[in-house]
Each structure stands twice: as structure tokens, then as C-alpha cells.
Amino acid sequence: MARAGGERGNWLREGKPPSATHAIEKTPQFRASMERFAERAGERLSTAFGALFTAGMKATRNLNAFEGLTEHAGQPASLIYSEALDARMAILFEGVVVDLLINAMFGIEAPNDVAPPETLREPTALETRMISEVAEGLAAAYRDAFAPIADFDLGVETTATIQDDELLGPKDSPALLAPVTIKAPTGVFDVTLLLPHPFLTPLAAAFARGPAPGAAKLDPVWADRMESRVTEASLTLTAILDEFQMSLADVSSLRLGHILPVSDGGQGQVRIECGERGVFICSLGERNGRYALEVEDIIAKPVQGAYPPTSAPV
């Protein structure tokens, strides 16, 4: 009897587990601000990339931080910090986001029949930089969305592939998962806001502090800086004159002076690739006594992938 009573007493002392739903989610200010975030996100990205971007909120879910990060394991994420709130949130990206952004920069149409990669790879330094810039824009859009009712800062702290399941603190910390679909001229990709309760609680308190004067408008200084960073980013272009099949024996027998014939199928055209995707078709010529390439066409549809690994680019 005493043992049973002791167990019951422990259960009463433990009380009910914390609610998975934060009180802020039920407020009309929060729901309206989240919808306004989607509108601001489209504006920020449109300004940065010089093309029309639109965004829309999807149904939110309540889970813990561990579950949210595990669902996106191996994908890029940006950790967002607010000094005013002294709290962090995360923006989780799909692996295709960089491809679509590069396509938008070159005006390339989205392919309809290309399957997503089976295995995710680590983003390059340039890709990480591009993701960070997009995250900066989305963080600014989130701040803009709440500016009419709350004043706080947001900035990207770091961007990396998700490997740490305690990126946002304790694994069992309740969190709100808010997916956003972003439509670009070159395709559609999803980003997800991971908002743990330690971030939402001070955000709710910020409602009482009132709005930031003039912060709801699009910041022209940020827009110019974002556009400059994107357009000045360095890209490596690769020119491929021809591709053909060779056996391992033929490759191993190549010596200095051997001649590799170029096929006539290309009709003197050179394919330009950026990030292992075709972007331009050029003709080979001469200018000022040196070989030169003249852009003849833009590879628009379908988006051509890189040549097979067995091919030998010349």
C-alpha cells in the first residue's frame, strides 16, 4: 500500500507534460504575422535575384527540436539568432534550393523530368554562401512581418549541413515547424522555419514592447547589399568541346603527341557548364590571335546535366 501510494504521489508531483502547442500560436497577431512573412519573403527574394518570387505558408506542426532536425538531417540549415530575444531559430532548406537559384540567375527553365538526387552531398563554399544570403533575406522578412507588433533583430549565425541534433538546445524542447513553399521562375522549393519554444516565449513578450518605427518597410540598404552579393559571387565556368567513349586500355595507352579526333556531331559547338549543368552553347573561334568562344544560345529546356563520368571532356 505504501509503495503504491508513493508511486501515485510521484506521479502527482511530476504533473502533466508541457503542452506541445505554445500559447502564442493561438493569438491572431502571430497567425497574421506568419502570413505576412510569406509576402515579405517573396519581396525580399524578388529584390535580391531580379525575378518574381512568391511564397505561401503551409500547415504548421508541433513536435520537438530533435524530431524537426532529424527530418531534415543531411540538408543545409541556417541558425538564426536574435540578440533582443536572446534566442535562436533555424531555417531548414531543401537540397535543390541552390540549383533553382542558379537557374534563376541564368534565366533557365525548370526541368520537368529530372529526379532529385538519391544522396545528399555537402554544399560547396559558394553554395553555402548563397544559402546564407537567402537565409539573411528570410530572417529580414520574418522581422519585417512582426515589425507592426514587435521590435526585435534577427541575423544568420551560421549555415551548415544538419549533423547536430542538439543544434537548438535540448532534444526534447517543444517546437513549431512552419513549412513555406517558395515559387521561383525556375521551379518550386520548400524552406522550413523551426521555432523552438525558447524562441517563441520571448517573442510573445516582445508583443508587449510594441512595434519598431518604420521597420515594416523593405530596407533599401539591405536590398542593395543582397543584390550586390548575389551578382558579384564568383562562378566557375567549364567549356567542353566534345565527349566520347574510350576504353580503359585506350586511355592508359595515351602518350605525348597522340591525337584525339573530335567528332563532327557538335558542329564546332562548345558547351559551357556551371555547377555541372549546361548554361550556354558557344561557337569556337579566334580573337586577337587567341581562341575565343561566342555565345550562340542559352540552354533553357530541358536543363542538361553533366556529362557521364565515363566521358572524357577535351
pLDDT at 273: 83
pTM above 0.85, yes or no: no
Tens of pLDDT, residue by residue over 139-183, are 999 998 988 888 889 999 998 887 766 667 777 789 999 999 998
pLDDT at 254: 83
Reported confidence tier of residue 195, pLDDT bands at 50, 70, 90:
very high
CATH of domain 236-253+261-314: 2.30.330.10
* Contact (Cβ atoms closer than 8 angstroms) between residue 172 and residue 66: yes
| Domain at 16-231, CATH class | alpha beta
Tens of pLDDT, residue by residue over 248-292, are 778 778 888 888 877 766 567 888 887 667 788 888 888 888 888
Q: Return the amino acid letter for 116.
A: P
Distance in angstroms (rounded) separating the CA atoms of residues 40 and 44: 6
The candidate with the shortest Cα–Cα distance to 192, out of 12, 63, 305, is 63
Distance in angstroms (rounded) separating the CA atoms of residues 22 and 204: 10
Query: How many CA atoms, within 13 angstroms, populate the side-chain half-sphere of residue 96?
Result: 19
pLDDT at 306: 42
Compute φ and ψ for 261, nearest 5 degrees.
-70, 145
pLDDT mean across residues, the chain: 76
pLDDT at 227: 56
pLDDT at 210: 66
What percentage of the chain carries pLDDT values higher than 70? 71
pLDDT at 26: 85
Tens of pLDDT, residue by residue over 81-129, are 999 999 999 999 887 777 777 766 666 665 544 455 555 567 778 788 8
* Contact (Cβ atoms closer than 8 angstroms) between residue 80 and residue 134: no
Q: Return the amino acid letter for 47.
A: T
pLDDT at 11: 34
Cell numbers linked to 24? 502564442
Domain boundaries, the chain: 16-231, 236-253+261-314
Q: What is the DSSP letter of 308?
A: P
Distance in angstroms (rounded) separating the CA atoms of residues 182 and 250: 49
What ranges in the chain are assigned the alpha helix state H?
2-14, 28-49, 65-71, 97-106, 125-146, 197-207, 220-231, 248-252
Please, which residues bridge with residue 295 across strands? 282
Q: Return the amino acid letter for 111.
A: P
Q: How many CB atoms lie within 10 A of CB 113?
A: 5
pLDDT at 52: 84
Answer whether residue 301 shows pLDDT above 50. no
pLDDT at 111: 54
Answer whether residue 213 shows pLDDT above 80. no
Answer whether residue 20 shows pLDDT above 80. no
The candidate with the shortest Cα–Cα distance to 241, out of 291, 310, 288, 302, is 291
The candidate with the shortest Cα–Cα distance to 85, out of 199, 215, 216, is 199
Tens of pLDDT, residue by residue over 23-75, are 888 888 888 899 999 999 998 888 877 778 899 999 999 988 888 888 888 88
Taking each helix axis from N to C end, the angle separating 97-106 and 28-49, rounded to the nearest 10 degrees, works out to 50
